[in-house]
Structure formats: structure tokens, C-alpha cells
Amino acid sequence: MLDPQLLRHQLEEVTEKLAQRGFIVDQTRLAKLEANRKQCQVETQELQSERNRSAKAIGKAKAAGQEITALLESVSQMGEQLKARETQLEAIQTELNDILMGMPNIPHETVPIGRKEEDNLEVRRWGTPKTFDFFHKDHVDLGGDLGLLDFKTATKITGARFSLMFGGLARLHRALIQFMLDLHTEEHGYIEVNVPYMVNADSLRGTGQLPKFAEDLFHIAEQDYYLIPTAEVPLSNIARDMILKADELPAKFVSHTPCFRSEAGSYGKDVRGMIRQHQFEKVELVQLVKPNDSYPALEELTGQAEKVLQRLELPYRVVNLCTGDIGFSAAKTYDIEVWLPGQQKYREISSCSNFEAFQARRLKARWRNPDTKKPELLHTLNGSGLAVGRTLVAIMENYQDEGGRIAIPKILQKYMGGQTHLEK
């Protein structure tokens, strides 16, 4: 959530910045609400002061043995007026908060201005896209021909956008998870956390999925829980309503979880294969840092996600998302896109974002600044390190041979009992 002070004192600037994201601020409505809030707050404070003065006058009159009936009646009337003003102020503040909850974050100055994916700015590439001297397949045909990947049966069991993996492919999927967790905990300094896969609405409001993206979530109405769309939600909420000590920062958490998304609005997109499913798995990285450290932390976190692809020897590129393509809560996002021979293009495999204080303000996640001795808002960051299913797809397509076998990357062979290939 944006700082309300920005809307009170820098409304024109906020409007201009959010317009770069394609978000239109209703300045007239905000200005009117803010004027009403100020007036109502002044009247409320005046009534509170007057009631306090009258209460003291009643005390003095009692002590002097004077008649206080008129004073009591006046205080009673002021109480009713004060209650009405407080109710009015609360209603205005609720409306302002509702507007704030629907407003996206302000993009950082280094975010390129643009409206669509084509306006994103490529930052760097690593590796060379693989070429084949034979007819290469995509992961759907590779997995189907090997008898290791089955979409038809999964659709029978559940529905569209689900899959079954068997044998060596299921083990390779598990090996990827173990490799990623080992890398991030042993080399990158993250604490592994096993988190709930269901969260309450407050947790989703804290990270920005609610109220705006309710249709993208799977809601369990009976208990009023939601299946997590990403481990970012439970990991970031560890700090909700907390004040961390300076020496506890940065706090770096990693978690492997299934993720559940309804993919509302994605009808017709990536219907083939494992690229866009309702259930998938990720290894997620979350950092809680001091505000001055958040942009160096974003570079670090992105590099840590890249390291997974480098160790797997998978070609990729990093792009700085434009203002029209960054997520609702993000101030800046790098997408890491891996090369998929089956599609002959780079596809997103990780988004690494700095949310600045946007999530922390919703979460009331703070740290105590030793210089000021006062609590201040944290900055939060997250990134996939990596999306496991898409990494598996990239391995299948980049490591295939002419006979339809899939070579296992050297770094993963120790997790596969020394196995070097997946074959029928």
C-alpha cells in the first residue's frame, strides 16, 4: 500500500507515476475525500477538547456544590455529536483505505516506461541457445514418447491444466527441488522454512493478492482459507505485525511449496504442456531488509536465481520489466527467461521483485532503527529460485538427443543415483 502522505501532499506526482503503469488516479474523488477527512477530523478533535473541558467543569462544579444538570445534558449532547463525527470520519477513512488498497506501487526511476512485454529492456544474456541437427521435440512429445508425462490421465482425474509425471521424470523433478534448496541454503545464506499451503485473507492482503486478485485464487469457503499462489505469501507474513532488530536483518528465507492459481484471464494461453498449470511447484526466495539495502539486495537475489540456471547450463536472459508489465505490488522487477527449443523463444522462469515498503505497510512489518530508536517499515523482496516445472521443461527440451532420450545435467546426477539419461 502506498504511503497516505503521498496522496495528501504529492498527488500530482503520484498520478503521473501511476499513469506510466496505465493506472488512472481519480484525483477529484481523492481530493474531495481528503478535504472531508480534514474537516471531519478537525471537528472531531474540537468536540473531544470541548467535552474534556466540560468534564473538568462538572468536576469543579460538583466540588463547589453547584447544580450540574445543565452541564451533564450539554456533555451528553456533545457525546452524541462526537460519536456521529467519529462514525463519519471512520467511513471516510475506510473509503480512502479501499482506494489505497486498489492502487499499485510506484515504479522505481530505473524501470523503463512502456505498456507491454515488447517494451521490456533486456539487461544481459547467459549461454547460447541450443541448435539441433535433428528434428527436436517439445517437452509434451518428449515426455509422452518416453511414457513419463501424462496429461490425459491427469485431466480425467482432475481437469485441464494438470499433469502426471512417472518414474525418472518424477525423480528428476524432485532432484531439481533438492538441488535448488541445497544451493540457496548452503551457498546463498537462506534459512529453509516449511510453510502452510493454506493462508487466511489477512496474509493475502498483506502481500497484495487481495482484494485485487481474488479471482486468481482458490478459496476454501468453509474455513475461509486460500490455497497459496506462491510461498511469498506465508514467508513474507512471518514479519507481519512484528518489529525486527537491526541485527536480525537481512532475513533471508527459502521454501519449496506447491502453488495454486486459477489462471483467470489466461484462457487460451499456454494450453499445451506444463508452462501454465493450476498446480505447480516453486522454490521461493524472500528477503526482508533495511530500506537502504533493498536495491543491492534485488541485484543479489536475481543473481542467486540465475546461478541455478548457470549450474544447470541452461541459456537464459534477464529483462527489466517496463512500467506496464511489472506486478501490482512491485516497484521494480527483473524477469529471468530461459531458452525453450520447443517454442524457439525465451520464457519466464523467475520474477525477482523489490516491493520497497509497499507490502510492509500492509503487513505492519517493521524494524527498529538503532539511530532513531524508532520502528520503521522494512523493505521486502522475493523471487523464484526457480519455478520447478518450467526448469524441468527447459532441461527436457535442451538436453534431448536424436533418439528421444533426455540427458541429466551433471549437477543433478548425484541426486539421481548416478543416472545419466531418461529413456523409455
CATH of the domain at 297: 3.30.930.10
The reply to whether 276 belongs to the active site is yes
Give the residue numbers of the binding site for ATP.
261-263, 348-351
CA atoms within 13 A on the CB side of 358: 25
Q: Is residue 9 part of a domain?
A: no
Domain span including residue 363: 117-422
Confirm whether 68 is domain-assigned.
yes
Q: Is residue 350 part of a domain?
A: yes
Check: CB of residue 149 under 8 Å from CB of residue 139.
yes
Region of 404 (left: φ > 0; alpha: ψ -120 to 50; beta: rest) is left
Boundary of a domain, candidates 102, 136, 165: 102
Same-domain status, 196 and 79: no
How many Å apart are CA 152 and CA 159, to the nearest integer? 9
Q: Are 96 and 301 in contact (CB under 8 A)?
A: no
- Last residue of a domain, which of 102, 127, 156? 102
Known catalytic residue at 294: no
Same domain for 89 and 210?
no
Same domain for 132 and 230: yes
Counted domains in the chain: 2
**Domain contains 294:** yes
Query: What is the full per-residue pLDDT of the chain (424 aa) written as tens digits?
Result: 999 999 999 999 999 999 999 999 999 999 999 999 999 999 999 988 888 888 788 788 777 777 777 777 777 888 888 899 899 999 999 999 999 999 999 999 999 999 999 999 999 999 999 999 999 999 999 999 999 999 999 999 999 999 999 999 999 999 999 999 999 999 999 999 999 999 999 999 999 999 999 999 999 999 999 999 999 999 999 999 999 999 999 999 999 999 999 987 777 778 899 999 999 999 999 999 999 999 999 999 999 999 999 999 999 999 999 999 999 999 999 999 999 999 999 999 999 999 999 999 999 999 999 999 999 999 999 999 999 999 999 999 999 999 999 999 999 999 999 999 999 8
Q: Give catalytic status of residue 390 as yes or no.
A: yes
Residue 319 is assigned to a structural domain of this protein: yes
The residue assigned the cell 547467459 is 126
**Residue 261: active-site member:** yes
Residues 199, 62 share a domain: no
Asked whether residue 74 falls in the same domain as residue 190, the answer is: no
Annotated binding-site residue numbers: 230-232, 261-263, 284, 348-351, 382, 384
75 in the same domain as 33: yes
What angle separates helix 69-101 from helix 27-63, to the nearest 10 degrees? Answer: 160
User: Kind and range of the H or E element at 172?
Assistant: helix 167-186
**Residue 397: inside a domain:** yes
- Active-site residue among 163, 236, 255, 351? 351
CATH number for the domain including 87? Answer: 1.10.287.40
Task: Point out the catalytic residue in the list 85, 261, 362, 366.
Answer: 261
Catalytic residue, candidates 125, 276, 368, 405: 276
351 is catalytic: yes
pLDDT at 257: 98
Given this model, what pLDDT does residue 78 score? 81
Q: Please tell me whether residues 73 and 156 are part of one structural domain.
A: no
* 387 inside domain: yes
Are 90 and 193 contained in the same domain? no
> Grid coordinates 511414457 are at which residue?
147
Predicted confidence at residue 61, as pLDDT, reads 78
Same domain, 194 and 232: yes
* Parallel/antiparallel/unpaired status of strands 251-260 and 243-244: unpaired
pTM reported for the whole predicted model: 0.93
36 and 144, same structural domain?
no
Rg (Cα) of the chain, in Å, rounded?
Answer: 27
244 has which bridge partners?
Answer: 367
d(CA 307, CA 106): 29
Looking at the structure, tell me whether residues 333 and 415 fall in a common domain.
yes
Question: Which residue of the set 43, 86, 95, 348 is catalytic?
Answer: 348
Annotated binding site for L-serine: 230-232, 261, 284, 382, 384
- Strand 191-192 versus strand 251-260 pairing type: parallel
Choose the final residue of a domain: 58, 74, 102. 102
Same domain, 363 and 399: yes
* pLDDT value, residue 193: 98
- Report how far residue 396's alpha carbon sits from residue 341's, in angstroms, rounded to the nearest whole number: 10
Q: Is 4 a domain residue?
A: no
